[in-house]
Amino acid sequence: MINRRIRFLSIVVIIFFLSAYVQAELPKEITHQIERLKSNNVDECFDAAKTLGELGDGAAVPSLIEALKNKNSDVRTAVSWALAKIADKSSLQTLIKTLGDED
């Protein structure tokens, strides 16, 4: 009985540390792409939005929503695609609003 508990607790601890390691690695890339999204370079913003969409992490949604204010319509299109790809419910309202954007 005690051996089963120790084995179970060991597995839980291992899973906890593995999940913490995986989560610690992802935000570095997300953070890097979010910084690129704020660039004045249109190509860099476009590429960052595309990459964030491919990564699919919901942590990028607030920055992507902010990037919908970008003056360049290509960047806004890439950002909209990224938000749709991530499919975060909080971004749905913002995407609906951008449908009325003439650019």
- pTM of this structure: 0.65
Using left for φ > 0, alpha for ψ between -120 and 50, and beta otherwise, residue 56 falls in left
Residue 72, pLDDT score = 96
Domain boundaries, the chain: 27-98
Q: What are the mean pLDDT values of the chain's consecutive 10-residue runs (103 residues total)?
A: 64 54 66 96 98 93 92 95 79 64 61
Residue 22, pLDDT score = 47
The Cα–Cα gap between 14 and 35 comes to 33
CATH number for the domain whose boundaries are 27-98 = 1.25.10.10
Half-sphere exposure of 84 (CA within 13 A, CB side): 10
Residue 87, pLDDT score = 77
Q: What are phi and psi of 38, to 5 degrees?
A: -90, 0
Report which residue type is found at 93. Answer: Q
